[in-house]
Amino acid sequence: MALKYLFLVPVLTGLALPATAQTALTLSANGAAQAEPDEAVANFNVQAVKPDAASAQAVVNQAVANAMAAAKAVPGVVVTTGGYNSYTSTPDGQTAPQFTAQQSLTLTQPAKNGVPDKPFTALLAKLQANGLLLNGLSGDLSEAGQNQAQREAIRDALAQLRAQADDIADALHEKVGALKTLNVNTGGGPVPPMPRMMMMAAAPAPQSAPDNVTVTANVSAEIELSPGS
């Protein structure tokens, strides 16, 4: 019987060839944006010390109510209350405990460059004269201002990311390819400005000239590099 030989001829047409391996590049960048504050923010602390808890709380409650009424009478001012707490202590040399009640209060007003107007600073002086403690006066960003600055910080981070990818691809004689993943982290929020201000402990109105607010964003990405031509 004659031998039969079967020859297998590879047919390449239509078959996919193995893809050339690509470099996966993981990068991150921190972007930042400077923004002029568009709000003036004052933080107060209301505190009372009495022989019993009820009396201390009553004084704080009345002081906060009076302050809120005075603040609402000034155009453009938004007033919000913060944490409320009370505790006991026994001062040196005394046997009977003292009861302290306290609550925080925040006043906000739209203000160009974060500089409050005269009615606002007059309100602060009035509240200080009524016994409220001014903890801080600064410029800050409104929600709209913060959102705009956040977008600018993200764009800054993305520009850095693109520049990094271009530099690395050029050094490896490759080209920037597809963007595989992109993560944007804006959880840091704005960095409080360094206040340039004179804080008066007594009733005279404080002076304020806040610095710009810095807003940051972190961006990380995985980018493919493909062989250069």
Q: At 191, which CATH number?
A: 3.30.110
Q: Tell whether 101 and 189 lie within a shared domain.
A: no
Q: Tell whether 28 and 69 lie within a shared domain.
A: no
DSSP the chain: ------------TTPPPPPPP-EEEEEEEEEEEEE---EEEEEEEEEEEESSHHHHHHHHHHHHHHHHHHHHTSTT-EEEEEEEEEEEE--TT--S-EEEEEEEEEEEEE-GGG---HHHHHHHHHHHHTT-EEEEEEEE--HHHHHHHHHHHHHHHHHHHHHHHHHHHHHTTEEEEEEEEEEEE-TT-EEPP-EEEE--SSSSPPEEEE-PEEEEEEEEEEEEEEE--
Q: What percent of the chain has pLDDT over 90?
A: 67
Q: Tell whether 123 and 206 lie within a shared domain.
A: no
Q: Tell whether 69 and 128 lie within a shared domain.
A: yes
Q: How confident is the model at residue 95 (pLDDT cuts 50, 70, 90)?
A: confident
Q: At 89, which CATH number?
A: 3.30.70.360
Q: Tell whether 153 and 62 lie within a shared domain.
A: no
Determine the length of the chain: 229
Report CA torsion sign: 159, 162, 168, 171.
Answer: negative
Give the residue from 140, 172, 196 where a domain finishes.
140
Q: Tell whether 27 and 55 lie within a shared domain.
A: no
8 Å CB contact between 158 and 225: no
Tokens 């929020």 belong to residue: 189
Query: Does any domain span residue 10?
Result: no
Q: What is the pLDDT of residues 151-167, one digit of tens each?
A: 999 999 999 999 999 99
Q: Tell whether 228 and 150 lie within a shared domain.
A: yes
Query: Does any domain span residue 118?
Result: yes
Average of pLDDT values for 19-41? 87
Query: Does any domain span residue 12?
Result: no
Q: Tell whether 68 and 134 lie within a shared domain.
A: yes
Q: State the pLDDT at residue 7.
A: 40
> Domain containing 207: what range?
21-37+142-229
Q: State the pLDDT at residue 205.
A: 61
Query: Does any domain span residue 14?
Result: no
Query: Does any domain span residue 7?
Result: no
Q: Tell whether 110 and 174 lie within a shared domain.
A: no
Give the residue from 94, 109, 140 where a domain finishes.
140
Q: How many domains does the chain have?
A: 2
Query: Does any domain span residue 214?
Result: yes
Q: State the pLDDT at residue 91.
A: 76
CA 106 to chain centre: 17
Average of pLDDT values for 170-187? 89
Give the residue from 91, 113, 140 where a domain finishes.
140
Q: How confident is the model at residue 89 (pLDDT cuts 50, 70, 90)?
A: confident
Query: Does any domain span residue 15?
Result: no
Q: What is the pLDDT of residues 187-205, one digit of tens each?
A: 655 655 544 443 444 455 6
Query: Does any domain span residue 87?
Result: yes
Q: State the pLDDT at residue 190.
A: 61
